[in-house]
Amino acid sequence: MSLRALLRRLTARRPLPRRQLRILDGLETAVFIIDPYGQPAFGNRAARDLAGGSDSLAAWLYDAPFHDPGDRRILRPSDRPLARLRADPELTEAFSALIDAEGGEAVWRFTRTRLPRWPGWQMIHVEDGSARLHLRRSSDHANRLESIGQMSGGIAHDMSNLLGVIRLSADTLWLEDTRARTAVSAIQSACDRGTTLVDHLLSIARREDGQVTRIELGPFLSSLRELMRRTIPAHIRIELVLESPDLWIISDLGALESAFLNLAINAQNAILDSSASEGRISLGADGEGDRITLWVEDDGPGMEPAVLARAAEPFFSTRHQDGGSGLGLSMVANFAEVSGGEIAIDSTPGNGTRVSMTLPQISRQDPSSPEAQAEQAEEEQIDLTGARLLIVEDDPLFGEVLTQALRALGAEVNLATSAEPAQAAVAARPPDLLITDIVLPGPMNGHQLAQHLRGLVPELRVIYVSGYAAPSAYPGDYVPGAFLRKPVSARTMANTIALSLAPGPQDGRKGHGGR
């Protein structure tokens, strides 16, 4: 149908200025006007350029070899974008891809606008859909990760309780039986390794987002290498290179770990894609002045200059067909920038790739800092004789083992499994300190219980324990107190109790300290 015929048909219902269709020629987006029979009655200049001329509009829409941008299968006529939009009145957009004359792939996004004044007529917009498609896939991926994260957080919480029972039991045995200390040390070390795994699960759960902390890079990279060894194929060797000892930074632990894992996955994929019989990935760190350089290096095939120039661009990937989002390096670059640093990528075809992050360095903690004092306190034996403690813990095994460990240090301990018996215990004999899990059965959580009991015992001190990471925000009625994440050793718990009960500047109460 000619443009003149179209105008006659449209204006037979309501006036449509002829210039309105000419205005469409100024758009960069391709626009097709589709009649009630599914035939293109008009295409703007971008549409004509896309199809190769006015006479080719229908052929391009219905006969072009569109394929699925995901699995690259050629679409059947009924699966092509215009056919799908016409067949499903609820569908508003469709994606498809074409291979151009030079062998490149273009992803197109088709959207539909109905013309209510002219029943059956539709306006189809066709535009570059690469970025939007990747955003949608990334959103779906993020939703899946969120579900995995929630599950990981629950598993981590339960593992923390189990490890807490084992660790506290081992610590109690250490104090009571010197002959068993070799075996007990092995149990304690196993608990420490289990705690590291819990930390990784909590990082996946993203419960530590935004929690900036001091990080010693040697232990961090060693732990990360152990994690990678469990996931990267055995024929790829993982090396750790620490050019300088005692390197420290301040960063979000979860974000730093994610950045390294992104780089390690890229390195792994590069080696696997090369089909090499063996490979090497190096993790490293070096410090000079007030800067630290961290890197991930591989001996894969390297990058061509054209790929290297775009490597950090969002959505750019050479592995779209394998599910690559093109967001990994851009996320690492963003993390480095937010952390006050930058990234650099060095790569030569045939000689592998090295991605470096340069971040601010901090000095090892001052001996007078609270962290250093806490480390020193770890070496002292704590005597809790005379301390009245109330433990509120819904895991009966963890609560019982913690009770036994603290009684062995001389404390008077009451154990409750929920808020209601805890209130009764306070009414019978007010404690000096409340040790409560944050998540409790019943209508009252740990924060609410602390607030209620503080009203009954104004001098009550509080220690919160949880299998999750410390919350980033607290309720308005929050009672200040120390926070410990399970699993916790008996020594750390005893040190925290002693510090909590120590008299403050305006406090005349008797404290509990080392002997």
* Cis status, amide bond into 487, omega within 30 of 0: yes
Residue in 4, 78, 96 with CA at minimum distance from that of residue 38: 78
Q: Which residues pair with 514 in a beta bridge?
A: 382
The separation between the first and the last C-alpha atoms of the chain, rounded to the nearest angstrom, is: 98
Between vectors from CA 309 to CA 303 and to CA 311, what angle results, nearest 5°? 70
Reduce the DSSP state of residue 112 to 3 states and report it: strand
3-128 CATH choice from 3.30.300.30, 3.30.450.20, 3.20.20.140, 3.20.20.70:
3.30.450.20
How confident is the model over 164-196, as pLDDT tens digits?
788 888 888 887 777 887 887 878 777 776 776
- Between 245 and 368, the more confident residue is 245
Between vectors from CA 141 to CA 113 and to CA 112, what angle results, nearest 5°? 5
Which amino acid is it at 285?
A
For residue 490, count other CB atoms closer than 10 A to its CB: 23
Asked whether the beta carbons of 254 and 281 are under 8 A apart, the reply is no
At 209 the pLDDT is: 46
- CA–CA distance, 416 with 30 (Å, rounded to integer): 69
Tokens of 515: 């002997």
DSSP 8-class letter at 491: H
Q: Is residue 414 predicted with pLDDT exceeding 50?
A: yes
| Strands annotated E in 330-432 | 342-347, 353-360, 388-392, 412-416
Number of alpha carbons in the 13 Å side-chain half-sphere of residue 465: 24
- CA–CA distance, 486 with 496 (Å, rounded to integer): 14
Asked whether the beta carbons of 164 and 486 are under 8 A apart, the reply is yes
Per-residue confidence at 377, pLDDT binned at 50, 70, 90?
Answer: very low
Between vectors from CA 150 to CA 144 and to CA 156, what angle results, nearest 5°? 130
Asked whether the beta carbons of 487 and 163 are under 8 A apart, the reply is yes
Tokens of 364: 């090892």
- What number does CATH give the domain 370-501? 3.40.50.2300
How confident is the model over 103-143, as pLDDT tens digits?
778 889 999 988 877 888 889 999 988 777 766 665 555 55
Query: CATH homologous superfamily for 213-364?
Result: Histidine kinase-like ATPase, C-terminal domain (3.30.565.10)
At 286 the pLDDT is: 92
pLDDT, average across residues 81-110: 87
pLDDT, average across residues 403-415: 92
Asked whether the beta carbons of 195 and 140 are under 8 A apart, the reply is no
At 436 the pLDDT is: 95
Between vectors from CA 399 to CA 460 and to CA 428, what angle results, nearest 5°? 45
List Cβ neighbours of 273 (8 Å cut-off, separation of 6 or more): 300, 301, 319
* Bridge-based pairing state of the strands 388-392 and 433-437: parallel
Q: Of the ranges 152-156, 449-453, 486-490, which is most confident?
A: 449-453
Reduce the DSSP state of residue 348 to 3 states and report it: coil
How confident is the model over 220-264, as pLDDT tens digits?
898 888 878 877 888 999 999 987 778 899 887 777 888 888 898
**Sign, CA torsion 361/365/366/370:** positive
Tokens of 12: 């037979």
At 318 the pLDDT is: 59
At 311 the pLDDT is: 78
- CA–CA distance, 395 with 158 (Å, rounded to integer): 10
Residue in 352, 356, 332 with CA at minimum distance from that of residue 344: 356
Q: Which residues pair with 446 in a beta bridge?
A: none
Least confident of 48-57, 125-134, 208-217: 208-217
The mean pLDDT of the chain is: 80
Per-residue confidence at 16, pLDDT binned at 50, 70, 90?
Answer: very low
Q: Is residue 197 predicted with pLDDT exceeding 80?
A: no
Least confident of 314-318, 361-365, 448-452: 314-318
| Strands annotated E in 103-190 | 105-114, 122-128
Asked whether the beta carbons of 395 and 161 are under 8 A apart, the reply is yes
- Backbone dihedral angles phi then psi of residue 247, each to the nearest 5 degrees: -100, 130
Domain ranges of the chain: 3-128, 213-364, 370-501
At 370 the pLDDT is: 47
- CA–CA distance, 243 with 356 (Å, rounded to integer): 14
Between vectors from CA 169 to CA 166 and to CA 175, what angle results, nearest 5°? 140
Q: Is residue 268 predicted with pLDDT exceeding 70?
A: yes
List Cβ neighbours of 357 (8 Å cut-off, separation of 6 or more): 259, 293, 294, 295, 332, 335, 336, 341, 342, 343
- Backbone dihedral angles phi then psi of residue 456, each to the nearest 5 degrees: -85, -35
How confident is the model over 422-459, as pLDDT tens digits?
999 999 999 999 999 998 998 999 999 999 999 999 99
* Bridge-based pairing state of the strands 279-288 and 236-242: parallel
List Cβ neighbours of 232 (8 Å cut-off, separation of 6 or more): 238, 264, 268, 281
Strand order of the β-sheet with 40-43 is 40-43, 30-34, 122-128, 105-114, 93-99
Asked whether the beta carbons of 285 and 294 are under 8 A apart, the reply is yes
- CA–CA distance, 498 with 500 (Å, rounded to integer): 5
How confident is the model over 58-76, as pLDDT tens digits?
999 999 999 988 777 899 9
